[in-house]
Amino acid sequence: MVDGYYKLVVKELRRLGFAYQRNSKGSHERWINSAGRLLIVPRNLVKRHTANGILKDAGSDLHL
């Protein structure tokens, strides 16, 4: 299986204070921070634009 951008996005989410909550529908995961901000992250994250959108929603300055 191709990892794509999943590992990079998860590493940045953890750095920003997000934690894995649980699996969601299909191959998606729910990540949440202490303020209650919820993000849905696909396990098969192969598109750079999707990865950048998730990071933007998380409040990151990182661009892939």
The model's pLDDT over 19-44, given as tens digits with 9 standing for 90+, comes to 999 999 989 999 999 999 999 999 99
Q: What average pLDDT does this structure show over 42-59?
A: 95
CATH topology of domain 6-58: Metal Transport, Frataxin; Chain A (3.30.920)
Question: Domain ranges in the chain?
Answer: 6-58
pLDDT for res 3: 64
Encode 46-63: b = buried (16+ Cβ within 10 Å), e = exposed: eeeeebbebbeebeeeee
Q: What average pLDDT does this structure show over 37-52?
A: 95
Residue-averaged pLDDT of the chain: 93
56 confidence band (pLDDT: 50, 70, 90): very high
pLDDT for res 41: 96
